[in-house]
Amino acid sequence: MKGVSAGGGQVDGVGPQESRRTAQWFARLARRDAVVVGFARNPAPHDLWSVRFGLSVPGLVLILLGGVFNPLISASTAVQQDGELDLDGLIDERLAQLWDVAHPGVPESTLVTHSGATFGRLNGEELHVRLDIVSATPLEDGRYQLHPEGLDDLRLDERIFAHVAKEGDAGGPEADHVQRFVLLAGRSLLLDLIALEALLVTDERPSSSVIHLRTAMVDTAASGSVTAPAWGTRPASIDAGSWSVLQDALLPQRIAVSLCDCDLDLLDVRFVAASGLQSSDLPSHDGITSAGSFLGMPGFVTLLGVIMLGAGARLEHRRRSEAERLAERMLGDLHSWD
């Protein structure tokens, strides 16, 4: 029969070279299958989902919180709120109140009640002030005394006579009214500003240069005399005993307000400050809030987000590179077979 040798040991058309090719083809196929099976059973430790939801997404969230939302919230809390006054507005409002009660036709009891109230706030009324803080001085007990902008440079005489000039443009007040107002305003504003400074004590240094002082005022026993009381209302968060200690420590020993009987607008306010004021005399209260960050360390949060996002991007790049190398190796095996 054709194709069979005398020894009968070889089939026609299938020689040793073709047998080796067939064996190599099966070997490559087995290697590719082993790679695919191994990759499926042992995925890369930094796959797509772990990188995105373990590093990239949290990093992006931290960047948004620390670098976008926190500054926006800080800016919104620093602006003057509805119904809130700044220091100038508080003084102007107080002067307007004292001008009204200093009118000769106003009963003495009304004058005493309003001029003796702290900042002119009666029982149940709210004190709401926005202040720019320029410095904070550490106290002996670990708290901080805040110093608002404009308080140290305030000229009482200029503000008082500026209000007189404004009211004079409106209709020419009587001389008795002006004199009574000037003397009353000199004393009342001095006491108000002394009390304001005493209330600007916080347990921690503010995180922002802007603070909001907001507190309801309640009736309390006044200092001074019956006809010239002082600080007859107090913040609701300060108890009567602590306020009494503060009054005794703050009330000046003597206040002298004199008006120059001349053509010049001159007001002389002199006082002898109380002696022996200690930091322990200054009560703590919950009326002060600091504008700004809702995060303790916004810069650190943003930096952590950048690091996490960068690490996620690096791992994603490495994952893609490994996938490309694996694909190139598999395609290279196929091309070599072809």
Q: Indicate the pLDDT class of residue 187, thresholds 50, 70 and 90.
A: very high
Higher pLDDT, 17 or 74: 74
Q: How many Cα atoms sit within 13 Å of 223 on the Cβ side? A: 22
Cβ atoms within 10 Å, residue 268: 11
- Of 15-19, 36-40, 47-51, the poorest mean pLDDT is in 36-40
pLDDT of residue 54: 62
pLDDT tens per residue across span 201-239: 999 998 888 999 999 999 999 998 888 999 999 999 999
Listed ranges 6-10, 167-171, 181-185; the one with the highest mean pLDDT: 181-185
> What element of type H or E holds 145?
strand 144-148
Within 10 Å of residue 135's Cβ, how many Cβ atoms? 11
Distance of CA 150 to the CA centre of its chain: 22
Instruction: Assign 79 to helix, strand or coil.
Output: coil
Q: What residue spans define the domains of the chain?
A: 54-79+297-338, 84-290
| pLDDT at 206 (0 to 100) | 87
What are 244's two structure tokens? 């009494």
d(CA 333, CA 336): 5
Q: Is 274:249 a contact under the CB 8 Å cutoff?
A: yes
Q: Select from 278, 273, 287, 216 the least CA-distant residue to 246.
A: 278
Local structure of 32: helix, strand or coil:
helix
pLDDT tier at 142, thresholds 50, 70, 90: very high
Exposure class string for 15-25: b at 16+ Cβ within 10 A, else e? eeeeeeeeeee
Residue with tokens 């001349």: 262
Res. 298: pLDDT tops 50: yes
Query: CA 195 from chain center: how many Å?
Result: 25
Model confidence band, residue 74 (pLDDT cutoffs 50, 70, 90): low
Share of the chain above pLDDT 90, in %: 41
42, pLDDT greater than 70: no
DSSP state of 85: B
Q: How confident is the model at residue 174 (pLDDT cuts 50, 70, 90)?
A: confident
Task: Please give the pLDDT value at position 212.
Answer: 93
Identify the residue whose tokens are 């002006």. Answer: 178
Nearest to 286 by CA among 230, 232, 216: 216
pLDDT digits (tens, 9 = 90+) for 79-129: 777 789 999 999 999 999 999 999 999 999 999 999 999 999 999 999 999
Structure confidence at residue 34 as a pLDDT band (50, 70, 90)? very low
- Which 3-state string (H, E, C) describes 152-194? CCCCHHHHHHHHHHHHHHHHCCCHHHHHHHHHHHHHHHHHHHH
Q: Say if residue 62's pLDDT is above 50.
A: yes
Specify the range with the lowest mean pLDDT, choosing from 3-17, 215-229, 254-268, 285-299: 3-17
Spatial distance between the Cα atoms of 39 and 141, rounded to a whole number of angstroms: 65
Q: Is the pLDDT of residue 276 over 60?
A: yes
What pLDDT sits at residue 211? Answer: 92
Mean pLDDT along residues 158-173: 82
| Residue 9 pLDDT level (bands cut at 50, 70, 90) | very low
Residue 6 pLDDT: 38
Residue 158 has pLDDT above 50, yes or no: yes
Token couple for 283:
């009560």
Note the pLDDT tens digit of each residue in 308-332: 777 777 777 777 777 777 777 777 6
**CA-CA distances (angstroms) from residue 140 to 143, 163, 273, 279?**
7, 40, 20, 7
Contacts of 226 (CB under 8 A, 6+ apart): 112
